[in-house]
Amino acid sequence: MQVSKQSRQFARQLFRLSLADGQISAERVNSVLIYLNQHPPRQPLAILKHYHRLVAAQLAKNHASVEHAGPIADSILHTIERALTQKYQRPVTATAEPNPDLIAGLRITVGDDVYESSIPSHLAALASSV
């Protein structure tokens, strides 16, 4: 579906309204949705999809997905949160997600950035260097 320029701009405006101190606010998102329900615009589905994409991207920026294999201590998660918060200058929360494919090591995904130090990645680097 072709999203018109006006629809994209409108979705971006709604997204900006959903922010509070640079962070997504649940109450504001709820208010935006109620408003859209009461005053449905032209191309509502396209607007909502674009708005959803923007909100998800913003949420992903403040969330770090820590994939790990084997046991991981909470201190490691806190260390990662501190390091990423300092790096991105915004609060980042880390959640652990087990991934046995990593064999050992971590893969951290923050928004579009991926940091990895795992056995498969090291072996792949070794294989490419050969």
Partner 1 sequence: MLSYLLFLATAEEGEKASAVTKLLSDFGIDLPLLLAQILCFSIVAILLWRFAFKPVLSTMEDRQRQIESGLRYAEETKALLAQAQQESAAIIKQAQLEGARFVEETRKTAKEFLDQQQKDATVRANELIAKALQAIELEHGKMLDQARLEVARLVVLTTQHVLAKELSDAERARYNEAATREITVI
- Considering the complex, state which of residue 49 and residue 115 has its C-beta at the smaller distance from partner 1: 115
- Considering the complex, state which of residue 40 and residue 91 has its C-beta at the smaller distance from partner 1: 91
- Considering the complex, state which of residue 32 and residue 69 has its C-beta at the smaller distance from partner 1: 69
Burial of 71 (0-12, 13-18, 19+ CB in 10 A): exposed
Binding part of the chain for partner 1, among 9-17, 21-29, 36-44, 63-71 by CB under 8 A, reads 63-71
Alpha helices in the chain (DSSP H): 5-17, 26-38, 44-61, 74-88, 119-129
Q: How do 63-69 and 105-110 pair as beta strands?
A: antiparallel
Binding region for partner 1 (CB under 8 A): 68-73, 76, 79-80, 83, 100, 103-106, 108, 115-120, 123-124, 126-127, 130
